[in-house]
Amino acid sequence: MTAETPPDRLPEYAERVLEVAELIPPGRVMTYGDVAEWLGEGGPRQVGRVMALYGGAVPWWRVVRADGRLLPGHEQRALGHYREEATPLRETATARGTADRPARLDMRRARWDGTGGAGGADDTGRAMAHN
């Protein structure tokens, strides 16, 4: 926390990251890098840090690793959310999430580009940076 940020208030960048997480529709995901690109600021590590510190109040399971692996230590909670929201998972065998074959997201089908239902697209349908 910086000297400019009151103790009861999130840093501005963290607020912006969390706002993007709230825009992601159920059943869809964005990578940490996607969120940083959407914002036009920071990078995957900065987004990951914000999610680790403050993400509990938003749908944290919708901001994911680019390889589709579930967040270590939170796999079962995330898997429950993905099943509830019908988020695409890779092949049925891995979707069960056994210890030897953990579940993975089907990033090709689950990834959200920021267009559609939650807004944020320009007249051509392309996602716009929100900085």
Report pTM. Answer: 0.77
Q: What is the pLDDT of residue 9?
A: 77
pLDDT of residue 125 exceeding 70 = no
| Best mean pLDDT range from 8-17, 46-55, 88-97 | 46-55
Over range 86-90, report the average pLDDT: 94
Task: Label residue 129 by pLDDT band (50, 70, 90).
Answer: very low
| The pLDDT value given to residue 103 | 83
Whole-angstrom CA distances from 23 to 20, 104, 116, 118 are: 5, 22, 11, 6
Residue-by-residue DSSP string for 23-89: HSPTT-BEEHHHHHHHHTSS-HHHHHHHHHHHGGGS-GGGEE-TT-BPPTT-HHHHHHHHHHHT--B
Q: How confident is the model at residue 57 (pLDDT cuts 50, 70, 90)?
A: very high
